[in-house]
Structure 1
């Protein structure tokens, strides 16, 4: 489980890590270039203008994994269209990123285990 929070102000490339059964998982933020507040009806004019002024952005949370230097996948699980640095009165409006990372972890873990089994079978055949 990811225990570390993302910072109160996030940027593309920010990451947190955790280890599950010896596999190191990384949750990183990538800029979501496809999402726009004008695609939705829930944003005020001021919020849209703040987005246009680069005050906040949409991000994706992407989970990758490795085991002892072996890459088990770069995009094992992801969720896109999440508001980052959104104008809010909350102390850390970016707390949701860790929540998403933890919700994606079971899917990423299953994908990493499958890749690990595939790698082991290839190594066994080659040996």
Structure 2
């Protein structure tokens, strides 16, 4: 069971893909992550290092200085692209509906995902949405069960 649609290679906040699974309509949408931390604040080791005890240690061996310089240039380019809002952190939020009735607008989600990251085709967004699909289905089934129980209880009272 997977989402059959795919997110585009360039995405914007609000973009979505949908599918139908087991009678449920599932929509995966992109929301902007509300944490404003920069990439180097979010990720230990974002900046490369020549020191072995540092999270960004590039490793010992031949050409370590050239590898460091390349990694430093890459990190600087990623930061500059983030500052220019060319890429952003987002969340994937799945909603679930049955016969057009939304059972849960936030059935499953994961935030802190890179969108439009340099040299990325955003295929990881599809992977995240598919990983969240079982949780969304469980949420939808639980919502249906609660509704059925409520209807049965109300009928018994009548």
How does the TM-score come out when normalised to structure 1? 0.91
Q: Secondary structure at the match of 1:71?
A: strand
Partner of 1:37: 39
Cα deviation, 1:21-62, whole Å, max 9, x if unaligned, reads 110011000001215302223261221111011110011001
Which shows bigger deviation, 110-119 or 41-50? 41-50
Q: Is the 8 A contact 1:36 1:58 kept in 2?
A: no
Give the structure with higher Rg (CA).
2
Q: CA deviation at 1:86?
A: 0.8
Cα deviation, 1:55-102, whole Å, max 9, x if unaligned, reads 1001100110000122211111111111111110x5xx2111111111
Q: Given the alignment of the two structures, is residue 56 of structure 1 paired with residue 87 of structure 2, yes or no?
A: yes
CA RMSD, 1 decimal = 1.3
How does the TM-score come out when normalised to structure 2? 0.74
Partner of 1:16: 17
Q: Given the alignment of the two structures, is residue 110 of structure 1 paired with residue 138 of structure 2, yes or no?
A: yes
Q: CA deviation at 1:14?
A: 0.5
Count of aligned pairs: 124
Work out the CA distance in 1 between the residues paired with 2:101 and 2:154.
17
Q: Return 5+ residue gaps in structure 2 as ranges.
A: 48-74
Q: Given the alignment of the two structures, is residue 122 of structure 1 paired with residue 150 of structure 2, yes or no?
A: yes
Work out the CA distance in 2 between the residues paired with 1:7 and 1:37.
23
Q: Which has the higher strand share?
A: 1
Q: Secondary structure at the match of 2:90?
A: strand
